A = this chain, B = another copy of it.
Amino acid sequence: MRTLLALLGVIFLSVLSSAQIQPQLNLMPMPSSVQQGSGQLPINESFSATVTGTHDASLDNGVQRFTRNLSRITGIPFRASASGTPTLEVHSDHGRGAVQKLEEDESYELTVTGSGAKITAPTPLGALHGLQTFLQLAQITPTGFAVPAVTIKDQPRFPWRGMLIDVSRHFIPIDVLKRNLDGMEAVKMNVMHWHLSDDQGFRAESKKFPKLTGMGSEGKFYTQEEIRDLLAYAHDRGIRVIPEFDTPGHSRSWFVGYPELASNPGPFTVENENGASSVTDPTREETYKFMDKFVEEMGKLFPDQFFHIGGDEVDPKYWDSNPKIQAFKEAHAMKTDADLQAYYNQRLEKILARHHKTMVGWDEILHPDLPKDIVVQSWRGQQSLAAAAQQGYRGLLSYGYYLDLMWPTSRHYATDPMSGAAANLTPEQKKLILGGESCQWAEWVTPENIDSHIWPRNAAIAERLWSPQDVTDVNSMYTRMHAISFELEALGLTHRSARDQMLQRMAGGADITALRVLADVVEPVKDYNRWSDEEKGPINFHAPLTHLIDAVYPESDAARQFANLVQQFAQSGYKDRTLEGQIRGWLTLWRDNDAKLRPLLQSSYLLEEDIPLSQNLAMLGSAGLQALDYLGKGQPEPELWKTQQLAVIDQAKKPVAGLLLMVTAPVQQLVEASAGQTQQK
């Protein structure tokens, strides 16, 4: 046995030296200033936190919540009755108002030494952010949980760092929203933009107009009590909630109960298949009476200063085909439908102003007749943001932050509100750009998979909006996002774990190991390509979202890692045998996976469509392995073989069941490298 042990020892030592785990600060968003010290503060059962400075109930709650979360992350049950010097002091100079404002100071300083930690901030908001930083710093070490000694000075780059959640296309229950608010708090986002109405459903209870949800929600809506509960939950976490009631377009759900608001006769339903569509009729005085009462009620329910009226994508055909509306335009000397929408928005803006609200709307609301205090949210790009700023309007960027487009994180991360046309603004104009919002449009999400569509990618967008503009290193971003992703799951999000649940459903009781191998290397098609399939017709919002495309992560870690491996291998002139061994391991796994997976794919109606995908992966594995063989021999492969392989690769590039194999390009690189080499022997 001694011999064996000695032998094994050699293996261990060699691995150790190459894979030693380095402590690093896995913070996201990255603070504006981080100065690492020496030593670390242990987090053990005697940990406690205390609040000093101005007393503030919301900060007290925040510290309690923080302690609970630290306990969840470390698994250590801190005692409520801890005595002695507190480990962490949290100090805020001032308290908080009942309604959070846009321009509040969110800065904080965090100092950690081997013997204690202190967060100081001018406001409870800053202190709450500091607590999140502390939480992210807590890491496991060989001697216990600890926070490394550090001095951090931090404040946000933009005051408006939001996420839009569409709850109309698919209803998202309160508990799911709450866990996403927890996630937003963790990454220091401070606005939840609640897209509460759209064609497919009106989700906020109105007591004055009960038919809005009574007829326009299929019974899936939030009561006012639930809304107040959510608002308090968000407020506790330093998050403002902006309601959006989209009008005059995207508003079929209003017309189900109140067809008189529409520009053409109904009847209307919230189902795509039946019922006409329409837009609001801006020519009837009754419309404005309705909106006045509605804004009064909702303005009280939602205390935030800002109120989003949508205003996007108004289909002109409903106005153009109504002779009364055309006559109105003529009588008021309006030339275009844009003029008519501007008229509507002006009237709406006056109603909002009467109820002390500031209007926010999408690009299309921008019109010189509107007052300068409105805010324009750009889904079109920095160009329209810059145009608004040049006219003196405040703006928010959402272009580039659409989570539903299934982009890789790096692409969101590269989108900066101040880039492109906005880069050329004057300093004064730049100040008008308040920040941005990621957007989770809900055509393809359910309560089950929405977390994975948002997280962890949203953390990188949060960093873009919080951290200094020069924080742009993509590798660092991925490393830190990976760590934060686990933190977010520990806090209760399900963006990683839901996939297994969904795969298990597809597999019945069968083993899902081979299914995971396939799921790991695919991504859903990008942009609107899932949607734009003419053959399929309009989206059925009642269809189950239970296919592989609904379960997989928007971005494949394995594919990114494999591409990096092949890149490194290329840089070694295809000589590094360790890298080759790793690449060979992946390719072999993929080549052999289809045989294991096939019976399962054939047994499940949810998986049958993925058979060609699994087959393509197997062929890619084979192609890559053969390319490695040729590379190893230093022989170019035969021309016929190369032609065959490139045909295989071309086939593997085509989406199957809405899914893309993300390892196609690196395999192609191997095949081409092998073909390109000259005879060496």
Tell me the chain A residues, 525-551 only, with Cβ under 8 Å from chain B: 542-546
Which candidate, A87-95, A374-382, A460-468, A604-612, is the interface stretch facing chain B? A604-612
**Quick check: A21 and B596 within 8 Å, CB to CB?**
no
Going nearest first, the 3 A-B pairs with the smallest beta carbon separation are A75-B546, A483-B509, A21-B603
Is A644 interfacial (CB 8 A cutoff)?
Answer: yes
Bound CA–CA A15/B514 (angstroms): 13
Is A11 interfacial (CB 8 A cutoff)?
Answer: yes
**Quick check: A544 and B21 within 8 Å, CB to CB?**
no
Measured between beta carbons, the chain B residues less than 8 angstroms from A76 are: 544, 546
Measured between beta carbons, the chain B residues less than 8 angstroms from A388 are: none
Take A4-B619, A140-B604, A605-B143 as given contacts and tell me if A482 and B509 are in contact as well, using a CB distance cutoff of 8 Å.
Answer: yes
Is A486 interfacial (CB 8 A cutoff)?
Answer: yes
Bound CA–CA A497/B489 (angstroms): 11
Measured between beta carbons, the chain B residues less than 8 angstroms from A618 are: 8
Take A505-B490, A544-B45, A599-B20 as given contacts and tell me if A8 and B594 are in contact as well, using a CB distance cutoff of 8 Å.
Answer: yes
Q: A1-B648, A141-B605 are in contact. List 20 more A-B contacts (CB 8 A).
A: A1-B647, A3-B644, A8-B594, A8-B615, A12-B594, A15-B598, A16-B602, A21-B599, A74-B505, A74-B544, A75-B502, A75-B546, A77-B542, A80-B218, A140-B604, A140-B605, A142-B604, A142-B608, A145-B605, A486-B504
**Quick check: A77 and B500 within 8 Å, CB to CB?**
no
CB of A642, distance to nearest CB on chain B (Å): 12
The residue in chain B whose Cβ has the minimal distance to the Cβ of A510 is: B21
Is A638 interfacial (CB 8 A cutoff)?
Answer: no
Tell me the chain A residues, 433-449 only, with Cβ under 8 Å from chain B: 446, 448
Is A675 interfacial (CB 8 A cutoff)?
Answer: no
Identify A45's interface contact among B506, B510, B542, CB under 8 A. Answer: B542
Is A651 interfacial (CB 8 A cutoff)?
Answer: yes
Bound CA–CA A455/B673 (angstroms): 52
Measured between beta carbons, the chain B residues less than 8 angstroms from A497 are: 497, 500-501
Is A26 interfacial (CB 8 A cutoff)?
Answer: yes
Take A74-B544, A508-B140 as given contacts and tell me if A599 and B16 are in contact as well, using a CB distance cutoff of 8 Å.
Answer: yes
Interface size class of chain A, counting residues whose CB lies under 8 Å from the partner chain: 35 or more
Identify A505's interface contact among B73, B505, B544, B546, CB under 8 A. Answer: B73
Bound CA–CA A544/B489 (angstroms): 20
Measured between beta carbons, the chain B residues less than 8 angstroms from A141 are: 603-605
Measured between beta carbons, the chain B residues less than 8 angstroms from A647 are: 1
Take A142-B602, A603-B21 as given contacts and tell me if A80 and B219 are in contact as well, using a CB distance cutoff of 8 Å.
Answer: yes
**Quick check: A139 and B508 within 8 Å, CB to CB?**
yes
**Quick check: A1 and B651 within 8 Å, CB to CB?**
yes
Tell me the chain A residues, 605-639 only, with Cβ under 8 Å from chain B: 605-606, 608, 615, 618-619, 622
Measured between beta carbons, the chain B residues less than 8 angstroms from A16 are: 598-599, 602
Measured between beta carbons, the chain B residues less than 8 angstroms from A501 are: 489-490, 497
Tell me the chain A residues, 1-22 only, with Cβ under 8 Å from chain B: 1, 3-5, 8, 11-12, 15-16, 19-21
Is A300 interfacial (CB 8 A cutoff)?
Answer: no
**Quick check: B599 and A15 within 8 Å, CB to CB?**
yes
CB of A539, distance to nearest CB on chain B (Å): 14
Bound CA–CA A509/B490 (angstroms): 12
Is A595 interfacial (CB 8 A cutoff)?
Answer: yes
Bound CA–CA A276/B286 (angstroms): 77
Bound CA–CA A1/B648 (angstroms): 6
Is A144 interfacial (CB 8 A cutoff)?
Answer: yes
Measured between beta carbons, the chain B residues less than 8 angstroms from A542 are: 45, 77, 79
Identify A506's interface contact among B140, B143, B507, B602, CB under 8 A. Answer: B140
Is A600 interfacial (CB 8 A cutoff)?
Answer: yes
Q: Mark A178-214, 1 if CB is under 8 A from B, else 0.
A: 0000000000000000000000000000000000000
CB of A581, distance to nearest CB on chain B (Å): 13
**Quick check: B4 and A648 within 8 Å, CB to CB?**
yes
Bound CA–CA A606/B139 (angstroms): 12
**Quick check: B619 and A1 within 8 Å, CB to CB?**
yes
Bound CA–CA A70/B378 (angstroms): 41
Measured between beta carbons, the chain B residues less than 8 angstroms from A74 are: 505, 544, 546
